[in-house]
Amino acid sequence: MDIFSVLYYRFKKVWKAIRLYLVIAGPGLVVMIADNDAGGITTYAATGAQYGYHLIWFLLLLIPVAYYVQEMTVRLGAVTKRGHAEAIFESFGAFWGWFSLIDLMIVDWLTLVTEFVGMTAALSIFGVPAWLTVILVVLLMGIIVLNGRYWTWEKIALGFCLLNLIYIPAAFMVNPSIASIVGQGLIPNLPGGFNNELFFLLMANIGTTIAPWMLFFQQSSVVDKGLLEKDIKMGKLDTFIGSIITVAVAIFIVIVTGTLLHGAPIDDAATAARMLMKTNHYIGAFMAIGLFDAGLLGAICISLASSWAFGEIFGWAHSLNTKVKEAPWFYISFFITLATAGVVPLIPGAPLVLITLFVQVVAVTLLPAALVFLILLLNDKKTMGEYANTLLQNIVSTMIVVLIIILSTLYGISALFPNLFK
């Protein structure tokens, strides 16, 4: 065989793999990029403003953390063909099932409120009133969801994921010093020593990387897409690429705020966008557009995570491949969750700060349970067969889960008792 034939054969093989990936890609990319939701953008903006490039190395460590947790949902979904809520009910009984479902409903709704807060704040920078933003978002999400096809929904969601990359050109526009990024950011260091402020920010970064809704969303998404055991390899690749993109976006946000707003007090991403506008109008606008997109992506995924979970347990038809007539309760629960959460930021004097704190606290009650269930389910050899966790996977995932549980618990407790760690 001559060299051209070998090259042609290899090219065909690679092209076939790429085409297969493009068919299967979706759940992992969407969940990971949606992980950079409005709350996440605020955390990264604050990280950059407070510590410059110094914590970039820590963000890089979050790639394996996010990947190892989320890839387990791919395997579980593809093998059992059940969502996470149904898997918990079936394997651990009604008590743990209801606990998870009700907790998920509360966490999702509260998180949705924070997404709407982020979206309204982002568009207010362009002079769009909050009520109009809420109406536009609900209408837009209606159009996306009601098309009756999972495939179409996923491609539109991927389009919004692409918009999330807006922070990359923004980071290049601020002309950061590459030498400083490498010197300060890539060598592990704790700026100013290990203190409570730094600890709180590290916990916040981990808290935004793994959220309870992500586990429920990705597993249900894998099931709705119809991924099978043979698709697990590509599903894992999808999740891995997604985890790299989500951390890359986070790093670019840190670079933007670390370059232009280093030392400035940042409470939320909208404030950062306003401050950036004074320095460079386009960068500020990019920040605001990115924040809106992040909130929208988060809202799309979170409201679906709840509706899928309810559908699984109550036995309603619960697929994006169904029309409204075929799955009325699925769509009704989707819009009720969405509309009620959207109304909250419009209420004058609504306790939005309290809601943000409450999200962190309630999430701490659900996340450890959902993660423990995940590992136990992945060790159920009777169900998982050859896709059960190996010893190495168990060691890595257990270490990650224990770390997440400890840090997210401390994060939740510090939200409850702010003076405890001072």
Partner 1 sequence: MRMLKQFISKIREINQRYAKPKIEMSKGVSFSLAVLRIYLFVLVLLMIYKFITVIKVL
Q: Are 84 and 357 in contact (CB under 8 A)?
A: no
Q: If 0-12 CB within 10 Å is exposed, 13-18 middle and 19+ buried, where does residue 170 land?
A: buried
Spacing of C-alpha 81 from chain mean position: 22
SS3 of 187, please?
A: coil
Shortest Å distance, C-beta 417 to partner 1: 7
**Distance from C-alpha of 119 to C-alpha of 123, rounded to nearest angstrom:** 6
Q: Which stretch binds partner 1 (CB under 8 A): 129-137, 222-230, 303-311, 376-384?
A: 376-384
Size of the site for partner 1 (CB under 8 A): 26
**Distance from C-alpha of 194 to C-alpha of 149, rounded to nearest angstrom:** 50
Q: Is 90 in the site for partner 1 (CB under 8 A)?
A: yes
Shortest Å distance, C-beta 314 to partner 1: 6
Shortest Å distance, C-beta 359 to partner 1: 14
Closer residue to partner 1 (CB): 298 or 368: 368
**Distance from C-alpha of 283 to C-alpha of 165, rounded to nearest angstrom:** 13
Spacing of C-alpha 52 from chain mean position: 23
Q: Is 403 in the site for partner 1 (CB under 8 A)?
A: no
Q: Which stretch binds partner 1 (CB under 8 A): 94-102, 210-218, 266-274, 275-283?
A: 94-102
Q: Is 93 in the site for partner 1 (CB under 8 A)?
A: yes
Binders in 354-373 for partner 1, by CB under 8 A: 361, 364-365, 368-369, 372
Q: Is 416 in the site for partner 1 (CB under 8 A)?
A: yes
**Distance from C-alpha of 18 to C-alpha of 302, rounded to nearest angstrom:** 29
Q: Are 67 and 239 in contact (CB under 8 A)?
A: yes
Q: Is 175 left (phi over 0), alpha (psi -120 to 50) or beta?
A: left
Q: Which stretch binds partner 1 (CB under 8 A): 2-10, 50-58, 201-209, 409-417?
A: 409-417
Tell me which of 230, 278, 325, 382 binds partner 1, using CB under 8 A.
382
Shortest Å distance, C-beta 89 to partner 1: 4
- Token digits of residue 111: 């998180």
- Residue indicated by tokens 């992500």: 214
Q: Are 200 and 418 in contact (CB under 8 A)?
A: no
Closer residue to partner 1 (CB): 147 or 409: 409
Q: Which stretch binds partner 1 (CB under 8 A): 85-93, 129-137, 224-232, 286-294?
A: 85-93
Question: Which residues here bind partner 1, judged by CB under 8 A?
Answer: 89-94, 96-97, 313-314, 361, 364-365, 368-369, 372, 376-377, 379-380, 382, 409, 412-413, 416-417
